[in-house]
Amino acid sequence: MALRQIVNLPEPILRRKAKPVSKFDKDLQTLIDDMIETMREAPGVGLAAPQINISQQLAVVEYAENEDDEEEDNEEAPSRPKKLFVLINPEITKASEEKVIGVEGCLSIPGLLGEVERHKSVQVKALNRHGIPVKLKTEGWMARIFQHEIDHLNGVLFTDRATEVWVPKPDEVVDLD
Ligand code: ZN
């Protein structure tokens, strides 16, 4: 495994629609493992292939959802195990009408945060790392991360959707993806 370099704006690949993955070979498995390692090292809660300069419909997500996802900074909540997802050629098949506002940042846009409205829950159809179709139902912050990653695969960045962006204060820490 190896760390890959994360590219930042204005790298044009971040604005391109990524190509679907068609070969589930050894190189793909290496790429997925490298992306997981790169995401953990960053650290981030998600990483899409265009962010490491590869135009493929592939993203990884790793996040521990708290029971009280709605409540901010609930430090009393027991920490849950992190869940790791590999999303290949993902598509949102259903999205809740209800939307929620949250603060996002991006590993490819250092030094900016923004307030972004997202669907509260989404259903996603994707392939796993072995090419097997999977259906995922996500809610809350996990659903937000999935939407952020799928946007990356379509050349869309959180700043396109943000109602407001700002430079974070030193104590303002947000999960990046
Ligand atoms: Zn991002």
Separation in Å, CA 72 to CA 19, 75, 122, 151: 37, 9, 21, 25
CA 39, 116, 95, 78 dihedral sign is positive
Return the closest-CA partner of residue 6 out of 28, 30, 26, 35.
Answer: 35
For residue 117, indicate whether it is catalytic: no
Separation in Å, CA 97 to CA 47, 116, 141, 152, 154: 26, 15, 16, 22, 21
Mean of pLDDT values over 145-161: 98
What type of residue is 14? L
Tell me, in angstroms, the distance from the centre of ligand 1 to residue 144's CA.
Answer: 11
pLDDT at 71 over 90: no
Taking every pair of C-alpha atoms in the chain, what is the biggest distance, in angstroms?
A: 45
Residues with CB under 5 A from ligand 1 (ion): 106, 177
pLDDT in tens, 9-59: 999 999 999 999 999 999 999 999 999 999 999 999 999 999 999 999 999
The domains of the chain, with CATH numbers, are: 12-166 (3.90.45.10)
Mean of pLDDT values over 51-78: 77
- Residues 138, 121: contact at Cβ < 8 Å? yes
Q: Which of 41, 149, 164, 172 is catalytic?
A: 149
pLDDT confidence of 65, banded at 50, 70, 90?
confident
Tell me, in angstroms, the distance from the centre of ligand 1 to residue 151's CA.
Answer: 8
